[in-house]
Amino acid sequence: MLASSVWRGTSQGWFIGGLVVGGTATATLIAALGSLPRAVLPDAVVAGAVVVLLGLVLLHELGALHLRLPQNARQVPERIVEAGPRFGALQFGLEMGTEMRTYLTSAAPYALLALVALVAGPVEFLVAGAGFGGGRALMTLARNGHPQPPEWDRLLAEHDVVLRRCLVLLVVALAAVLVWIRLIR
């Protein structure tokens, strides 16, 4: 997938732009929807919901609990590649950034989703959305910048579980700080 023509040359910039814009748009929508329960529920209930959701994500990533995570598991259709290096890359970046077309290998996006919906303020949800898209962009840049992309793929597969667990632990730690600052303190 990352080796397709969508990712080469100047199309990589269009793809990355789509990722960041898509992530930011999704975070904005999720924050807007999350403002409804925040407006009517006490902070303690919201904090409890975040703790429960983050606990489920953490248990899933540590292998103590298996959750079937919702995802739109579709690959790049030929029509996107055929749309040209700019439009096709931008469209696919937007779809991946919004989570409308992707495989999820980690539950970390669901932890981020809970934070954006129930805790994040305006600056935080914008940073979270752009950071989600930027994080996905880093994967593309790292692979494309490696002198031997198949070796990069092998190393990623070899260290996948540890990387995913570290990422989720980082998100959960950040969440704990945010919940403390916004809801408990």
Q: Are 133 and 26 in contact (CB under 8 A)?
A: no
| One pLDDT digit (tens) per residue for the chain, 185 residues | 444 444 556 788 888 999 999 999 999 999 999 999 989 999 889 888 888 888 888 888 888 988 887 777 766 666 666 666 778 888 888 888 887 777 777 788 888 888 899 988 889 899 999 998 998 898 888 888 899 999 999 999 999 888 888 888 887 787 778 778 777 76
Reduce the secondary structure of 113-178 to three states and give it as a string.
HHHHHHCCCHHHHHHHHHHHHHHHHHHHHHHHHCCCHHHHHHHHHHHHHHHHHHHHHHHHHHHHHH
Structure tokens at 179: 């919940």
Number of domains in the chain: 1
Which domain does 30 fall in, by range? Answer: 5-184
pTM for this prediction: 0.80
